[in-house]
Amino acid sequence: MCDADGIPIHASAPLPGRVHDRRAVALCGVEAVLGGNERLLVHADKGYIGTDFIVPRRSYKRHPLTPDQMAENREIGAIRCSVERGIAHLKVLDVLKSGIGTRSPRRNGGDQ
């Protein structure tokens, strides 16, 4: 989880096996803490549909989004952009896996 500036503020412990985003946020307790607070606006991707977070609207084959709904999704995406960038930085630096903020040699073109 990152703040609006893309600065990481929380990373939960890894969960065993494959766990969907919606289930993971409930299991780690973040939803209980953030979901009930009306003063916090939590933006998330479509993996968190069913939470109290602000998520983009889904489009369906027979019910496409209206222009207003598409504009709303663009606004949500613009807010989430910096958050996704912050998460990408953690992944590139392998912080989530190793806990050390150094680049992994295999991602820089092999053994160096």
Distances (CA, A) of 26 to 91, 99, 105: 22, 24, 35
Structure confidence at residue 82 (pLDDT) = 80
Q: Is residue 5 part of a domain?
A: no
CA atoms 31, 33, 37, 43: torsion sign: negative
Q: Is residue 65 part of a domain?
A: yes
Determine the structural domain holding residue 59 and report its residue range: 21-108
Q: What is the DSSP letter of 37?
A: -
How confident is the model over 15-38, as pLDDT tens digits? 888 888 888 888 888 777 776 667
- Our count of domains for the chain comes to 1
Please name the residues in contact with 78: beta carbons below 8 A apart, sequence gap of 6 or more: none
Rounded CA gap, 85 and 90, in Å? 9
Distances (CA, A) of 13 to 10, 36, 96: 10, 22, 9
Q: Is residue 62 part of a domain?
A: yes
Average pLDDT over residues 39-44: 78
| pLDDT at residue 112 is higher than 50 | no
Contact 5, 12 (CB under 8 A): no
